[in-house]
């Protein structure tokens, strides 16, 4: 038996959620420079609800821009539109939606899941094939656990389970905290788009906060 310590976890990467997209023109103009400025692993496309044909055309417009930057494009909900729009996967809102979507997404596309309010649901999601688990997003009423509770859930998951975990950060401090808790990815959305300095400056600050959090984790484990 080897007594070598396990290899260090890789540096967590950014997962960027878009604003709710109606007309994608402004986002198409911003995304290339934004994705080139930081290490973004994936983009979560939040579509305004409308007819399927229009939503598919919006996915088709954005997918090549995201994918040419080396990132994956995931659609929030709507797993039935993923293949038709050329996206890389879907993010599902809970264990029931995940179970329903898995046959249409696997094995070629990514199936991520959030809305996991209990450890039991989290373990179920991992066992049935979720490609990642998101912790800390607000519920339908805008409520979410404390950042400490989210960090504890990330730490628990990262310590015991194989599928990647994602922390939903609503501040730069949370991005740092979740990276230091063992998150594989940190999801940022309004934190970036609402920043008065512009999304590029905010995304770079989030990226720096993640790297500092990861460094703090490495020190604590050494």
Given this model, what pLDDT does residue 3 score?
52
Is residue 7's pLDDT more than 90?
Answer: no
Cα–Cα distances in angstroms (integers) from residue 7 to residues 138, 207, 210, 212, in the given order: 33, 22, 19, 19
* Beta bridge partners of residue 15, listed in sequence order: 42, 187
Query: What would the DSSP string read from start to end of 128-185?
Result: HT-SEEEE----TTS----HHHHHHHHHHHHHH-SS-EEEE-SSHHHHHHHHHTT-SE
Is residue 82's pLDDT more than 60?
Answer: yes
**Could you read off the pLDDT of 156-200 as tens digits, one per residue?**
999 999 999 999 999 999 999 999 999 999 999 999 999 999 999
Given this model, what pLDDT does residue 2 score?
44
Identify whether the C-beta of residue 200 lies closer than 8 Å to the C-beta of residue 37: yes
What's the whole-number mean pLDDT along residues 151-156? 97
Whole-model pTM? 0.95
Angle at 121 between CA 120 and CA 125, to 5 degrees: 120
3-state secondary structure of 36: helix
Number of H helices, E strands in the chain: 9, 8
What's the whole-number mean pLDDT along residues 89-104? 97
Given this model, what pLDDT does residue 1 score?
41
- Mean pLDDT for the chain overall: 94
Is residue 211's pLDDT more than 60?
Answer: yes
Is residue 19's pLDDT more than 60?
Answer: yes
Is residue 123's pLDDT more than 60?
Answer: yes
pLDDT band at 220 (very low <50, low <70, confident <90, very high): confident
Helix (H) or strand (E) holding 221: helix 199-221
């Amino acid at each position: 038996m080897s007594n070598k310590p396990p290899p260090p976890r890789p540096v967590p990467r950014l997962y960027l959620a878009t604003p709710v997209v109606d007309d994608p023109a402004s986002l198409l103009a911003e995304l290339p420079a934004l994705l080139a400025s930081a290490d973004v692993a994936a983009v979560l496309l939040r579509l305004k609800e409308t007819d399927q044909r229009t939503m598919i055309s919006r996915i088709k417009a954005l997918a090549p821009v995201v994918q040419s930057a080396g990132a994956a494009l995931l659609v929030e909900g709507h797993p039935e539109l993923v293949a038709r729009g050329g996206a890389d996967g879907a993010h599902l809102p809970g264990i029931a939606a995940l179970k329903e979507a898995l046959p249409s997404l696997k094995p070629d596309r990514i199936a991520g899941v959030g809305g996991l309010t209990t450890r039991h649901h989290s373990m179920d999601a991992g066992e049935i094939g979720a490609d990642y688990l998101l912790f800390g997003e607000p519920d339908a009423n805008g409520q979410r656990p404390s950042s400490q509770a989210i960090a504890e859930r990330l730490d628990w998951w990262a310590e015991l389970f194989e599928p990647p975990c994602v922390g939903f950060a609503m501040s730069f401090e949370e991005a740092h905290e979740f990276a230091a808790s063992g998150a594989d990815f940190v999801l940022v959305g309004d934190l970036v788009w609402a920043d008065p300095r512009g999304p590029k400056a905010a995304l770079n600050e989030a990226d720096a906060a993640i790297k500092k959090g990861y460094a703090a984790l490495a020190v604590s484990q050494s």
